[in-house]
Amino acid sequence: MWDFFETIRHRHSIRQYQTDMPVEEEKLHAILETACSAPSAGDLQAYRITVVRDAGLRQALSQAASQQTFIADAPVCLVFSAEGDRSAGKYGERGRELYAVQDATIAAAYAQLAVVAAGMGSTWVGFFDEAEVSRIAQLDSGLRPIALLCIGYPAELPDATPRRRLDEIVTRL
């Protein structure tokens, strides 16, 4: 088991998957538990997670995401959706428009790290047709898809991509 910082260092977007190696249910369960351990506004967890294993649905999601074919290749796709109503009940419009989206985003980020700790890889997909993804993932009305997370065993070892320098990003006061 890697320590936390090693896990962070080993996370790279994976866009080629071992198509004959399914994601074990126990590992998927641990990833979902980790996602749901993320902080959320008011501890409301204003998000849902849809697990898509079905090959036809993954193919449809790939088409809804501008033909990003690796979505169909990865054995699992998680659809993270914001549940605006749940947050709006306590926080009004700020909850609906911001906190629910943040809740879903943080949960997906936790999941992405858990995937690495479980020996697999993922790619976060944000470029997709929301209406199409809602239809394919059979989301209840009121849910807004925020991120797709493709998960599987990597068939590539990408190099780390460069990052902006800290002093371009960080302001110290």
Ligand X SMILES: Cc1cc2nc3c(=O)[nH]c(=O)nc-3n(C[C@H](O)[C@H](O)[C@H](O)COP(=O)(O)O)c2cc1C
CB atoms within 10 A of CB 142: 14
- 8, 115 contact by CB (below 8 A): no
Structure tokens at 161: 């991509």
**CA dihedral for 57, 63, 68, 73, sign (positive or negative):** positive
CB of 126 to ligand X, least distance (A): 3
Q: Considering beta carbons, is residue 39 or 89 the nearer one to ligand X?
A: 39
Nearer to ligand X, 24 or 126 (CB): 126
Contact between 15 and 70 (Cβ < 8 Å): yes
By Cβ distance, which residue is nearest to ligand X?
Answer: 126
For ligand X, the closer CB: 85 or 97 = 97
Residues 6 or more apart whose CB falls under 8 angstroms from that of 27 comprise 118, 119, 120
Residue ranges in contact with ligand X by CB under 6 A: 12-13, 68, 123-127, 161
Closest approach of ligand X to the CB of residue 55, in Å: 20
Of 32 and 124, CB closest to ligand X: 124
CB of 157 to ligand X, least distance (A): 11
Cite the DSSP H helix spans in 37-145: 55-64, 70-73, 84-94, 100-117, 130-136
Question: Cβ of residue 173: shortest distance to ligand X, in angstroms?
Answer: 27
